[in-house]
Structure 1
Amino acid sequence: MSERLDYQKQAPALFKKLLDYSMAAHATTIEEPIQDLIAIRASQLNGCGFCVDMHVKQATIHGERPLRLHHLAVWRESTLFSPRERAALAWTEVLTQLPVHGVPDELYERVRGQLSEQEILDLTHAVMGINAWNRINIAFRSEPGSRDKAWGLDKADLN
């Protein structure tokens, strides 16, 4: 498959606004390791190869352990994630694959047991951001690894 179009060049103002939103959502109460995990998990669920590739490389650069990255797809069965990380991953999954009847109260209460209201709001914005990126990269078939050098992801040394 080849890339359909370069959305960054076609609509630079909108690209910048989405980037600004994502950067603002990233600079919140949610710590970077959790931000990395939720970006990868949402991208896995959405089937966005470009974003999975990018965020695995970012997480590696940030010091994430390879085994945790391998376990992310099966985080419920893994013992490698803290209760706080589990809450963030559960929230990410429910917002990425919204149930017909919305977010269950039981899940909200479970997440609320690990994160403050501000943290839940900040996490929600981070999930919204990665889902937007997934959708645009899937729509236009962004090629995994195609922007590694420009974005410094080659430092992950995963090729």
Structure 2
Amino acid sequence: MTQRINYIQQSPELFKKLLEFSNQLKDSKIEESIRDLVSIRASQINGCGFCVDMHVKEARIHGERELRLHHLAIWRDSPLFASRERAALAWTEALTRLEESGVSDDIYERVRTRFSEKELSDLTYEVMAINAWNRANIACRTVPGSADKAFGLDKANLA
């Protein structure tokens, strides 16, 4: 794959704002492990190779188990995810694949029982952010692994 344009170089001020937004989410009420799962799952759904690569490496650096990463695509059938993680993944899928009728009451109720209103709001922003990154990297065909050194992802030792 060949990158089309480098959106970071072309619009550095906008990149910086989106990066600030994403970095601010690290202070949210959502656990780092759930944020990692959300980022990977949304990126899988959207087909963003750059973001799947990046967030798998981040998750490994954060201590995520390899088998859980392999099971993420089949999380509904896997026994490896807790109910709170399952709720977050259901919310991620619902917001990433928005139905014409919106997010169902069933999914909302399932998520609402596992997250406070503040946490649900933070989780929603987390999903919004990764979907924005996915769209930029897909549109520009950002090459997976091309920013490993810049983001410290070479520490994952997954090359």
Give the alignment's TM-score, normalised by structure 2. 0.99
Give the secondary-structure state (helix, strand or coil) at the position aligned to 1:53: helix
User: Structure 1, residues 132-158: CA drift from partner, whole Å, max 9, x if none?
Assistant: 000000000000000101111000000
Displacement, 1:23? 1.1
- Amino-acid identity (%): 65
User: Structure 1, residues 64-102: CA drift from partner, whole Å, max 9, x if none?
Assistant: 000000000000000000000000000000000001100
Query: Which residue in 1 is equivalent to 2:28?
Result: 28
- Find out whether 1:44 has 2:44 as its counterpart: yes
User: Structure 1, residues 29-79: CA drift from partner, whole Å, max 9, x if none?
Assistant: 000000000000000000000000000000000000000000000000000
Question: Cα RMSD (Å) of the superposition?
Answer: 0.5
1:25, 1:153 → 2: CA distance? 19
User: Structure 1, residues 109-153: CA drift from partner, whole Å, max 9, x if none?
Assistant: 110111111110000000000000000000000000001011110
Query: Which residue in 2 is equivalent to 1:144?
Result: 144
Query: Which residue in 2 is equivalent to 1:16?
Result: 16
**Superposition misfits of 4+ residues, deviation over 3 angstroms:** none
Is 1:39–1:55's contact at 8 Å kept on the other side of the alignment?
yes
2:107, 2:148 → 1: CA distance? 36
Give the alignment's TM-score, normalised by structure 1. 0.99
